[in-house]
Amino acid sequence: MDFASHLAQWCRHASTWGYPAVIALMAIESSFIPFPSEVVMIPAGFLAARSELTLGNPWLDLALVIVAGLVGSLLGAYVNYFLALRLGEPFLRKYGKYFFLKAETLERSQEIFRKYGAPATFVCRLLPAIRQLISLPAGLARMPFGQFTLYTGFGAGIWGAILAGTGFFIGRSTTDLSYEELVPLGKQLVSEHYWWIILLIALFLAGYWILSKYVMKKS
Which is nearest to 155 in space by CA: 186, 176, 124, 181? 124
Q: Which residues contact 163 (CB under 8 A, 6 or more apart)?
A: 37, 38, 41, 42, 45, 69, 186, 190
- Measured CA to CA, the distance from residue 73 to residue 58 in angstroms comes to 22
**What's the chain's length in residues?**
219
Describe the crossing of helices 14-30 and 38-49 by its angle, rounded to 10 degrees: 150
Domain borders along the chain are 3-215
Query: What's the confidence (pLDDT) of residue 65?
Result: 94
pLDDT of residue 77: 93
pTM, rounded to two decimals: 0.82
Task: Output the pLDDT for position 10.
Answer: 57
Handedness of CA 5, 134, 129, 168 (dihedral sign): positive
Cβ-based neighbours of 144, under 8 Å, separated by 6 or more? none
CA distance 128 to 60: 28
Could you give the CA distance from residue 50 to residue 58 in angstroms, rounded to a whole number? 7
Of the candidates 197, 200, 136, 190, the one whose C-alpha atom is nearest the C-alpha of residue 167 is 190
**Residue 101: predicted pLDDT:** 75
Tens-digit pLDDT string for the chain (219 aa): 455 555 556 555 555 567 888 898 899 888 877 678 888 899 889 888 888 777 778 999 999 999 999 999 999 999 999 988 898 888 888 777 777 777 777 888 888 888 888 888 888 888 777 788 888 889 988 999 999 999 999 889 999 999 999 999 998 888 677 777 888 888 888 888 877 777 777 776 666 566 666 554 554
136-140-142-148 Cα dihedral, nearest 10 degrees: -10
